[in-house]
Amino acid sequence: MQPCDYKPLDPKVRNAPYPYYQVLREQAPVHYVEQVKAYALSRYEDVHAALKNPAVFSSSREHFTKSNALIDLSKLGEEVKRMVDSSVLVSTDPPQHTRLRSLVSRAFSARRMADMEPRIRALTRRLLEALPRQGEFELLEALSVPLPITVIAEMLGVEPERHHDFRRWSNDVVNAGTRMITRPGPFPEVEASLREFRLYLEGVIAERRVEPRDDLITALVRSSEEEEGLLSAEELMSFVRLLLIAGNETTTNLLGNGLITLVKNPEQLARLREKPELVPNAVEEMLRYDSPAQGLFRFSLQDMEFSGQKVPARSMVLLLLGSANRDPRRFTEPERFDVGREQTGHISFGYGIHFCLGAALSRLEMRVVLEELVPRLKHLDFASDQPEEVEWVDNAFLRGPRRLRLAVELA
């Protein structure tokens, strides 16, 4: 295998990226990936250093679009263009980012998260109750989609019953993100779905302006009204959309990847059963071992050097989180899944100013699921009709099973 074999948009690479990362780390720690027109960094130290330096590695959507390096806005349909134009927080740099982040981070404080635990536990128990005592089920349908989407919908104050719509819209937004890069051009079916999503959220926001409630959308509406110019109506909508998507796809993937890893490592599942106090550690190890977010993009504003090789100014940079988390320079025996691992410092939630806002929430959801599920598990395996090769979501930088059929025996 050669560094040039790393083609992140090819299903072969997407399905099993780790051997490619190893080649990149060893042979080409700075590698230009033609398929996504970006310099890929694959070593922990380099990815970490880039994340720590937002003054040079910009997240601003303007660079991504104006440079036409990755996305050619002129080729996109109206709704997709509108979405890219109004995206907030994750695609802004300081000082805009700093102001927005301080506004929204209150909603995700450690105290708020702790307050949510009983509700998350009750939802988890209800979903687990519906599983067969002894039999087979599909994880996404039964647990890993409804749990995070219900939690974030309740937080925002949108109707959890519409979770099928949120899921569809959210998938379409994520797909639009990939297609902008891979097959630029208008995509009418996604346009219709994005319009539906936008109109729905605009309706909810308008309702909260007139009739405030005790929910996150009302809080955001209120602070944007108090501090004029902070969030335009379009940006407010865009932020709510970001939360609905971020609060959904990634945690679903963490739950899926975590359970796949446990099935493949039964001795680690046995350890967890014996020592439930290892659960929080196991969550961190699941994040490190098979991260739901495999890569992030930045735009370099000046020439920089990593591992002795140059990343030129004004280029797209791909930070391979999934590779950094398996760098043997940072983690002992990184290919081993070990629920008792003491080394911390994975970067699955990113690092620095854009560190994932929902990290505490998704950790909490994963921990509660393991706390509720593991003690009841007499047996966990792939279902008889689950293909040996897991079918992964069709996305180069988000990793999780598209479907996962499991067999259980519960106490």
Q: Give the footprint of ligand HEM on this chain (CB under 6 A).
A: 59, 89-90, 101, 152, 242-243, 246-247, 250-251, 254, 292-293, 296, 348-350, 354, 356-358, 361-362
Helix (H, G, I), strand (E, B) or coil at 381: strand
Residue closest to 70 by CA, chosen among 291, 297, 357: 297
Judged by CB, which is closer to ligand HEM: 96, or 265? 96
For 259, 269, 385, the CA distances from 133, given in Å and listed in that order, are 18, 19, 18
75 burial (CB, 10 Å; 0-12 / 13-18 / 19+) is: middle
State the residue for tokens 């939690």: 151
Nearer to ligand HEM, 5 or 355 (CB): 355
| Contact between residue 400 and residue 290 where contact means Cβ atoms under 8 Å apart | no
Please tell me the distance from the alpha carbon of residue 406 to that of residue 131, in angstroms, as a whole number.
Answer: 11
Pick between residue 77 and residue 400 the one whose CB is nearest to ligand HEM. 400
Of 251 and 386, nearer to ligand HEM (C-beta) is 251
Least Cα distance to 374 among 339, 343, 334, 402 occurs for 339
Angle at alpha carbon of residue 185, lines to 182 and 186, rounded to 5°? 125
Q: Please state the φ and ψ torsions of residue 248, each to the nearest 5 degrees.
A: -120, -70
Cβ closer to ligand HEM: 89 or 272?
A: 89
Q: Which is nearer to ligand HEM, 187 or 397 (CB)?
A: 397
Pairing state between β 309-311 and 304-306: antiparallel
- Judged by beta carbon, residue 22 or residue 92, the one nearer ligand HEM is 92
Q: What beta strand segments (E) does 227-315 contain?
A: 295-300, 304-306, 309-311
- CA distance linking residue 32 with residue 230, whole number of Å: 37
In sequence order, what are the beta bridge partners of 134? 409
Alpha-carbon distance of 144 to 381, in angstroms, equals 17
Nearer to ligand HEM, 163 or 354 (CB): 354
CB nearer to ligand HEM: pick between 24 and 156: 156
Please report how close the Cβ of residue 1 comes to ligand HEM at its closest, in angstroms.
26
Closest residue to ligand HEM, judged by C-beta, is: 358
Measured CA to CA, the distance from residue 28 to residue 374 in angstroms comes to 41
Helix (H) or strand (E) holding 270: helix 266-274
Q: Of the two residues 304 and 407, which places its CB atom closer to ligand HEM in the complex? A: 304
- State which amino acid sits at residue 364: L
Q: Give the separation between CA 142 and CA 134, rounded to whole angstroms.
A: 15
Least Å distance, CB 239 to ligand HEM, is 8
For residue 79 the two structure tokens come to 């709704």
Are 269 and 250 a contacting pair, CB within 8 Å? no
Q: How far is the CB of 118 from ligand HEM (least distance, A)?
A: 18
